[in-house]
Amino acid sequence: MPEVNISGPAGRIEARYHHNKTLNAPIALILHPHPQFGGTMNNQVVYHLYYAFQRRGFSVLRFNFRGVGRSEGLFDNGPGELADAATALDWMQGYNADARSCWICGVSFGAWIAMQLLMRRPEVEGFISVAPPASLYDFTFLAPCPSSGLMVNGARDRVVPTEAVRGLVDRLKTQKGIVVDHAIVPEANHFFEGRMDGLMEVVDAYLDKRLGKRKKRVSAA
């Protein structure tokens, strides 16, 4: 899991990158929760998503938004973070020009940024949005949502109620040719504390279904 530094629009972007040497290996980008509420690329949900894709033969990148960790710059409440994510994806594609597919994942605030990036990058064929902040941010830009994916939240999420996520998913399901699945993890809060296994069971099952194969789970340690 080598450290990499990417030249971003606000300066250095601190990242962790796993490169799969298989010809045409797919790529995945993972975006972390809100920087001003403790979100970093070392968030446990981000960490587990990273390894879920690594186990399935992806080249994977996770990084710190501007102003987090050793990433330079200051929090920009969305536009700057979107620029960081676009730069990170460009960097990945530069190293994986022949990647056969591209996925984007985000957690909470990172899910909002990920979906905005999805709208700008037609090569993205799948997404996973964990605890998307449907009651806190405007998602009307998803008109229509260009790729199929998964939105998953905790049943006891007090930050973003299940009803808000369900309402967002229901609207997206009306778009022709796009399937957005929705899963709810029982007993889980916004951070999936004590319920990480439940979250990853949902994510693993979805990836297995979409990728058409099944991978044995191994420890991310």
pLDDT (mean) for 196-208? 98
Residue 194 gets which letter from DSSP? T
Contact 26, 102 (CB under 8 A): yes
pLDDT (mean) for 42-50? 98
pLDDT (mean) for 128-148? 95
Q: How far apart are CA 145 and CA 157, in angstroms?
A: 24
Q: What is the pLDDT of residue 213?
A: 64
33 has a pLDDT exceeding 80: yes
Question: For residues 153, 154, 158 and 162, what is the CA-based torsion angle, rounded to 10 degrees?
Answer: 50
Percent of the residues in the chain that have a pLDDT greater than 90, as a whole number: 90
pLDDT (mean) for 164-189? 91
How is the beta sheet containing 102-107 ordered, strand by strand? Answer: 3-8, 11-18, 59-63, 27-31, 102-107, 124-130, 148-154, 180-185
Q: What is the pLDDT of residue 173?
A: 75
Of 40, 33, 92, 87, nearest in space to 64 by CA: 40
Among 58-72, 96-110, 165-179, 188-202, the least confident range: 165-179
Whether this model's pTM surpasses 0.85: yes
Report all structural domains of the chain as residue ranges with CATH numbers, in order of start: 3-211 (3.40.50.1820)
The CA R_g of the chain, rounded to the nearest whole Å, is 16
